[in-house]
Amino acid sequence: MSGSVLISFDKVWRSYGQGEAKVHALAGVDLAIRRGEFVAIMGPSGSGKSTAMNIIGCLDTPTAGTYSFMGIDAGRLDRNRRAMLRNLYVGFVFQGYNLLPRTTAVENVELPLIYRGVAARDRHDLAMKALAEVGLVGREHHTPAELSGGQQQRVAIARAIVTRPTLLVADEPTGNLDTARTHEIMELLTRLNTELGLTIAMVTHEADVASYAERTIRFLDGHVASDTINLEMA
């Protein structure tokens, strides 16, 4: 059961350029995501979905309207305060795994904890726990080159959840994976959503990937074209 509203857009606009070259990537969008929801965000290129995700992840701010995160008007925060919000409450998973190539899995997962000033022993213990949660027991001391693509994405997910974020932003998390590994990663995200109560906002262009979410929001031309509940997941 999802909880209180975590994320809300109130007539959010995001515009780029000036004069005749001005483009409205988002045009007065209203939406809300509740704590504990798993939401897929879809739409063709140029629809506004990536812009919306950048705002959700506190990587960008609206040109007009209000973006609220945990009750905070995040769109009005300066860059440093938004960075603090991201570091404390948001985890990111991308299509490219973005792992340090000469660093072991456990060392990769420790990185966000280093930035937080967590003591070395505590970092190690927390990273090992996160790797166990994503099914990588026995692979903790392998470098990325010694891991499959699916295993590398599991390391990236462990790195994203090791700080116990409130929100996980996943941008095409299965884009580099084959069908079997795609389903493994989506089953993992579903389990983390359920067991940890992790709110997940995921961009994907694949309908079968979106079907793992309990809700799908489709963007078109800067607007929310549809917002539907996946009855099988609800």
- Provide mean pLDDT across the span 114-122: 93
Q: Pairing mode, if any, of strands 199-203 and 38-42? A: parallel
- Structural domain harbouring 94: 36-53+79-229
Q: What are phi and psi of 65, to 5 degrees?
A: 90, -175
Q: Which residues pair with 27 in a beta bridge?
A: 13
Q: Total structural domains in the chain?
A: 1
Question: What mean pLDDT is reported for the chain?
Answer: 95
Residue 233 has pLDDT above 80, yes or no: no
pLDDT digits (tens, 9 = 90+) for 61-78: 999 999 999 999 999 999
| 110 found inside a domain | yes
Residue 1's pLDDT band, with cuts at 50, 70 and 90, is very low
| 191 found inside a domain | yes
Task: Classify the C-alpha dihedral 75-80-86-92 as positive or negative.
Answer: positive
pLDDT digits (tens, 9 = 90+) for 135-176: 999 999 999 999 999 999 999 999 999 999 999 999 999 999
- Cβ proximity of 7 and 32 under 8 Å: yes
Residue 110 has pLDDT above 80, yes or no: yes
DSSP assignment of 170-210, as one string?
Answer: EESTTTTS-HHHHHHHHHHHHHHHHHH--EEEEE-S-HHHH
- Residue 73: the pLDDT is 97
User: Which CATH number covers residue 155?
Assistant: 3.40.50.300
pLDDT digits (tens, 9 = 90+) for 182-193: 999 999 999 999
- Residue 143: the pLDDT is 97
| 198 found inside a domain | yes
Q: What are phi and psi of 27, to 5 degrees?
A: -130, 80
Please, how many CA atoms are within 13 Å of residue 187, restricted to the half-sphere of its CB? 8
**Listed range (1-15, 181-195, 201-215) with the worst mean pLDDT:** 1-15
How many whole angstroms separate alpha carbon 105 and alpha carbon 89?
Answer: 22
- Residue 231: the pLDDT is 76
| 189 found inside a domain | yes
% helix / strand / coil in the chain, to the nearest 5? 40, 30, 35
Measured CA to CA in angstroms, residue 117 lies from 113, 161, 169, 223, 231 at distances of 6, 17, 23, 41, 43
| 135 found inside a domain | yes
Give the type of residue at 109: V
The pTM assigned to this predicted structure is 0.94
Residue 124 has pLDDT above 80, yes or no: yes
Residue 2 has pLDDT above 80, yes or no: no
| 149 found inside a domain | yes
